[in-house]
Structure 1
Amino acid sequence: MNAIIVAAGFGSRLRPLTYSTPKPLIEVFNKPIIERNIEFLLEKGIKDICVIVGYSKEKFEYLKEKYKGVRLVYNNKYAIYNNIYSLYLVREYLENTYIIEGDIYLNRNIFEKELKTSCYFSKKISKENNEWQLITEDEKVKRVEIGGKNNYIMSGISFWTKEDSLKIRRILEEYANNEEIKKSYYWDHIIKENIEEFKNIKIKQLSEEDIYEIDTLDELSELDNSYKEILNNEVKTAVILAAGKSHGFNYSNGLVKVENQILIERNIELLLKNNIDKIYIVVGYCKEQFFYLEKKYNKHIIIIENNEYRDKGSFYSLLKLKNIIKENILLLDSDILYEERALKNVLENKNENVILVSEEKGQKNETFVEELEGYLYKISKDRRELKNIDGEMLGVSKLSYFLLKYLFNLNADNSEFAYEYAISETISLFKIAIQRVDGLIWGEINNKNQLEYIEDKIYPRLLKVENEQKIEEIKYIFLEEMKEIDTNIERIEALGGMTNRNYLITTNDRKYVLRKSGEGTSEIINRSNEIENCSKVKSLDIDANLLVFNKETGVKITEYIEKAQTLNPDTIVLYLDKVAKILRKLHSANIEFNNKFDVFKEIEKYEKLSIELNGKFYEGYTDIKKKVLELKKKMEKLNIQLVSCHNDTVPENFIRSNDRVYLIDWEYSGINDPMWDLAAASIESRMKKVDEEKLLYFYFNREATKEEKLRLHINKIYQDFLWSIWTILKEAKGVSFGSYGIDRFNNAKKRLGELDLYE
């Protein structure tokens, strides 16, 4: 007695699981289906087992070593012919033989060693169904029909005596000459169409619970509840990749302290807060320094060691979980600092696979993405390989069990293979949604310079946003202001901001950005001027569409700009032509703001308010102020035509969406020297000289004159000094900006010493 297991097919109805796992190797209750059936056969003394393989044949090879007596026969035409051809290939084995479909799950061992007649192991289904019906008379199968009820059905397991096996072999050889039969027939057609030759087929009765045929993911999850969480898109597990060697510290990047908070501990606590209760951390470099986490966070942390971190890329770290992970996961880099809402947005995204994408930072070694209709289209670390740059991978991804299984079966010969490239290998089979979180505050820490930048610029802003407890207030404001337009609020998210507080409002049909005035802005911003100027700018179509402006409160509501990416000091240089074009359009437009932006009046205003609040002025302030005021006479001698200006052209006020650039936030707008806007764009973006010259060339469509360069330099001095006092005022009101103010003050001193280079 022997057994043939038909296991060559693809199992298309079980996609995407079968992209990575042949159907018979799918695990049910942590054991591949085929292994369970092989072990049942061996228990009954049936040791001669032939498995017909086709799709992903190499994945069955281990069976020959694990189970003695198992042999594999390869059907190289599994994609062309139906399973009748599989049986044809092993026709010589037919002799007192069990024929078993590879996707049959047995709850108990139903095999018998001593069988005298051919038989179907079958369960009876009373309700109407489309299965192959075994119609019996006198306890023998008399005919086979498709569809019916109250009949025994073909359940995927049958036994054939030597006599009947020879008949099946003969008919197989006849049918094998017919191409159409090989393409469309199941092997069971042999019995159906030649039932008169098989006169003694009996039924071995099975109960409903004895046997399951798994055709769909729903059927799989109904049998094994562990798949329900996967199919419901639930995520309870995270993987943090922390094995790589740091290039800036003598410990892992994930163990860096940001203002006395260890980075990886912050990330763990955010995960736990968002119901991620199992966290795998793959460690390598300085691995012992991570072990305390298992004790500190008890059962939630599982440390996985990658001792080959020196020679292999991040994908290899992920592969260390190949035989461990059997669920959907969050995959995170260990060296990133991010707002909690980044996690929330990814977890709440209804897609099975999601990558978090940010606007470009312009740094090296980043992973750029290109999207198509909201889904990942291409990934590359070389921006030249992409037609459109739609952002960067931030280092937070949601991956389904099915995609993860596919990843685990990729061949990564390249020792430097990164997990981002592995994900890109799945794009043709899996839809991976792009998740953007507008205005997200985040950063990564790979060296000391980045740590200093995070502590100085990013972390204070992040804490401010995360501590924001005014969502209900924002909801009330929005409903009051928009009651005649749209009140169906679904979500409110804080976007941050230096001067004001900005919020993304999502309703049933649209998205809006609501600006709430920041602390003390009513004293330094003239809202009447701002609303007047915004109304005039609207005709230029260079700003977000303005819907509401309350000049009493400073609340402003605009339409959300789709696919908006905020520029920053590193990325603005990639779009200098568009930045110059939008400034030229503003400066040359036939609009005139009612107010004049007078830097000297602004200086006096900020100084007066700071004194009233006992603000702390910088050492040498009075002397530097005197030198700055003396520049007014120098500028009055130049031929300057004042125009409508933005006056706050920091890179973050430029928004890129597809091929367009927008200029937002007109609080400081007014009549001014147009070189102020160019100076601000340059100084706030920390532009190199070559990039500044490009900006000027794009703006003028020629080389800038000596006088224009002098005006640019003097405007830089004005701005450094003005914003240093602005910072004094803000900090007097309890808002921290790190070293921003003193840095601007010192820059003003330095530029004053360079004036003779431009005269």
Structure 2
Amino acid sequence: MNRTGLICRYLKENPHCTQRELAQKMDLSLGTVNTLLKECIQNKLLAPGKSVAGTCELTDKGLEFLQNFQVDGALIIAAGFGSRFVPLTFETPKGLLEVFGERMIERQIRQLHEAGVYDITIAVGYLKEKFEYLIDKYQVKLLYNPEYSCKNTLATIYRARKVLQGRNMYVLSSDNWIRDNMFHSHECGAWYASSYMKGDTSEWVLSYNKKGRITDIQIGGSDCWVMYGPVYFSREFSEKFLPLLEKAYHTPGTEQFYWEHILMQNIHHLEMDINRQPENQIYEFENLEELRQFDPRYQTRSDNKALELVSTVFQIPESDIHNIRCLKSGMTNKSFLFQVGERHYICRIPGPGSELLVNRRQEAAVYEAIRDLGISEHVVYLDSRTGYKISEYYEGSHNARANHPEEIKACMAILRKLHGSGLTVNHSFDIRERIDFYERLCMAGKGTLFEDYDSVREKMERLMNRLEHLDRPKTLSHIDSNPDNFICLPDGSVRLIDWEYAGMCDPLIDISMCAIYVYYTEEQMNQLAELYLERPADDEERMVIYSYAALGGFLWALWAIYKASLGEEFGEYTLIMYRYAKDYYKKADILWKQLFSSKENPDSI
């Protein structure tokens, strides 16, 4: 930290600041401050003051010198999901949550403005549209990080490197709450804010020398100063740091690195000081429980639909909903785990666009039909209009494993029980209708279809015509019968969950859907059919299973394209599903021609 610059900054901010006050602000002895003042006077940066307190005044040369340390702007990182704040962050990015009636990111922007810092860039990713209003309200800029969902903050800083290059910049986290304004128009060297943690901590611990220079960084410690809150990148610091960051970004294995990993690995070559902050100055809320303790409003009213629903269903205040944590987001819905009393439950929240993809009234009808069959999860609440669902969580359970033969065998037994139950509902799963529907959604959403889409679409039409020609019997089928939807309980029993797509259909569709979801090979698909049928599949059954594998791949590829148009990406899933459509059309076509070889033109059927 440039002490001369600090002296000039403090006197610019408070021309009547005494030597004793300077010593207190700079955490230096009175003698050291006196020596620094004399040096500044000798260098004509300061002139002796005329006040009784003996303060000095900045000269024109001092003001010119201070310009080297003027803050050029701020980068606010706001790209992440904030999984520990579900369900609030399902609707609102963490930085946009209110604390005492003010959004955390807006509080930081306001504090920056008070310090004269107006050039502010916000790095966004998750729910990026939610931040757009800040452009008009505060004239900020938004920088989109397309890697927000698969990489950590190292990638975010890399994406924003041009914003930092050659500039003096604050780097902030949108979800920090800062009590007193700690920002200035001038900063005199790179620093990392730090708070003192009593007892054991898993935070990043700082070691520093007598001058406040950080000398070492370790993860975890006890009774120590830790990285906590804002950071300041001087242009000199960025000149050394950014090349190291770029090199790390292009190094395999750093995808989940924080940018601080690069600082930690190179701290002996980089100059950064500790900026020790008083107790209760900076807050990084780890979860909703901590926020509830800080802002009592969240104990009774979070303004979150899901928590309000849980409160109503169980007739309890929101403060009685505990141990909330995110479950792995499904491909159609989002869900979170919570505790009421001694029991745990799962709340499902319909994902974007699911109101078009899923008929919730039909789903409710299926749950009603299978209620006494004993194969599904225990549903506490299901809204047939919105799709919100609360169900019991089974302690010690796990999703069925696709590579575990005994578990998959038990899953197939559940499907046999379902298909052989004789249960019916008043709606069917019509794959032709679904393909047509998803295709229209893709076209309306300007989804990017495949180059050979038209020819593949024609082949899918041929498969559907052939299946209709066979006129096979229909039973109540699950449709989304992938291993993730089979829950293995500690007592050895299995439950089949998430019946959103269920309806009357050829039961063999459930075999196909299970296989393609876990990317089974043809051999594995045939083994799966044998587990279900308890015998090898005949040629017609194999042809039907392959046909539904192709049609299912085509259907889910369209589904993924539509979801992508809504901002949700599923990586290579779209490509793999489309490949199932093409590859298993060929396999089904061969079997069809063998089955109808006696016909003059089997391909015409």
The structure with the greater share of residues assigned to helix is 2
Larger relative contact order (Cα-Cα within 8 Å, sequence gap ≥ 6): 2
- When normalised by structure 1's length, the TM-score is 0.40
Larger Cα-atom Rg: 1
